[in-house]
Structure 1
């Protein structure tokens, strides 16, 4: 937490945060710990004025000249948290903008002093000002580059903070990732835009709105925790030069993506399974025999080591098979999985005899029919076989005997190929289960069409692509309303309204005309009887002022009962 003379009311509210948060988090996990530290304005040139008055305000004595203090290492004692926070003194200093990133760095790298364990790690950062950082990784001319090491002495970051510059944002993001720390930036409304820009640079982080007196801190942290824990984001260590990695995600409900979005899946719950396809490409040979990269999911402690071995030259040339049957019955040498053609032969399998080759005849083999372009104009005809062109995007490919297929010219919905609900195969969408349509934009899920009573579109319409198409006169998400339909619902509603509220068209004749049924008020839909052989049920929804009331009319051998749900809808 950043402390300044303006944050006294925030600290007062934080005094009860320990026990409040412990109670809330115990609903989520049985093993929760909490700690506390605060940071102040940096007291070194050029971050503070050099006048005696300013120095006295920010650094009253040698022992108090610090940026960050770890007040309480991680503990399961919420009462101790409250007690120690209550003893913190408010510094007479201006905003703490330039101390914040220093504090984050020390909390991240000082694993033993903070008390981090091999579990989910969450850092809640609260400040009343923006942040300062080393621009482009270039240190301030007055300070040394940050060494990214722990410098807490007796839980205080003091002397070294005057010598080291801030971390660059890229290095800060890497430090948090390497230490498996997820960050919650809890700031007031006026600072949201600044910290949302910071969030975009730091994976596995969220920005939450903190009330001006921090009274919503506990619930805000719980909400942010749920948000962080519902995302799976892959990350790798620094890649060797010339090596690239691409991702393809397979998330819930058949959602799939590539590129940067292929690194993550959202809305993941406990028990859900998500998968990722990973492709690693070496664009040039490394000077080392092998390289190692680490792959992990941000926020989780387990990681995978991937050992890369580079084959710069094949060592199998001397082991090739001369005149191999793999090469068109002996027209070449089969080396390293490919054919090296004998003189006078060409082609992938050395099928073409140059001396006998007729170009026009070869081209004919590369046309689907006489009116077609050679290789569908998407490839080259080499020895009577189409070799399809490559595209700039490696995920977009031409395929097929005549290069007539591709995986990127399918119908789109919401800007996504196959609506994101299928894969594009030979220019046609192959939809995932529960989706159909040329762009896989038609859901087969009928659950959205079910009424509150379990009927499909209230039997007044048809469920098409996950939405109700209502019969004439009916409307609403499940065809539950019919404003122009006079009938049993509207007739009974006049009497229900006068008996419940002493209002409506039959208010003055309620006793005379509205005693033909028994009225029962229920608290939930489960208390409304279901249709059966012995009685008919009519479900109704009528409006009183700006509220909709749900009720059901049952008729058992002339005995009419109206059940009304006590809680209205909007």
Structure 2
């Protein structure tokens, strides 16, 4: 270096062998049943053997880089996916505390316990986990086998899937008609009820009246009509899969009763009571008598009130007069404004003779 004149000479002596090399044990059992010499704390393998403990044969492993065969690809540094040990170029997967849980695969990349869960159950309790993917049982699907393909929970009372107004997904109805809702798409808050919907047709076919009587044959032939004698003869709830009991009023304010039922998913049957119930007309006599009596009573009440107010007013005025009389300051025995019509003149010359 500039400014320095000193020089240093370094002499290197290479040690090619350690002192412990002379103490090596040939064919030591430590080196996989005598397949190498144990020296300086490590195995020096015999010809045809490789590995840290000389446990592998060159006939079984084509490369001296044993770990290369235990990597999934050349770009990863994980040996046996960190789930096993590389033995002679082959992955031996680790054991888990739970004997039912295990790693598998060429690189220990698979397991049977890291699949999706549903309701805190592996594969929803309806499948098995294979290489971190759920294999579902019959009638189940989904990543966690939580989607049931059974459609019995979607059956409406008319035995139709979602009442014919939706699709059954995972055992739950998805209503396609926005007007309908509910578990089986049977509830329609904005729709007229079954009774109101069929009222006009039932009325025209059973009694020949109503708004549709002129078009009854054209519009109201979609159900079978059966007449019964009384309300007791109507079908009772539970007799049919889908039945409604109806009570409607006609134009004459008479009530008529009927039931609407669906049989075999398509056949519609209506039972109607032959006789309508009409309310009796009002009795005029009690109404007129009540009106007259009401008028008389109201008149008497008004008269009594007027009389009472008059009495109260008179008493107040009399009391006021008496009070003013007591407070008067003039002499009550002579009228102060009275002047006599007689004038008396005294003659000054008169001496009384």
- Normalised to the residue count of structure 1, the TM-score between the two structures is 0.29
Which one has more relative contact order, counting CA pairs under 8 Å at least 6 apart? 1
**More strand by percentage:** 1
The higher radius of gyration belongs to: 2
- Normalised to the residue count of structure 2, the TM-score between the two structures is 0.45
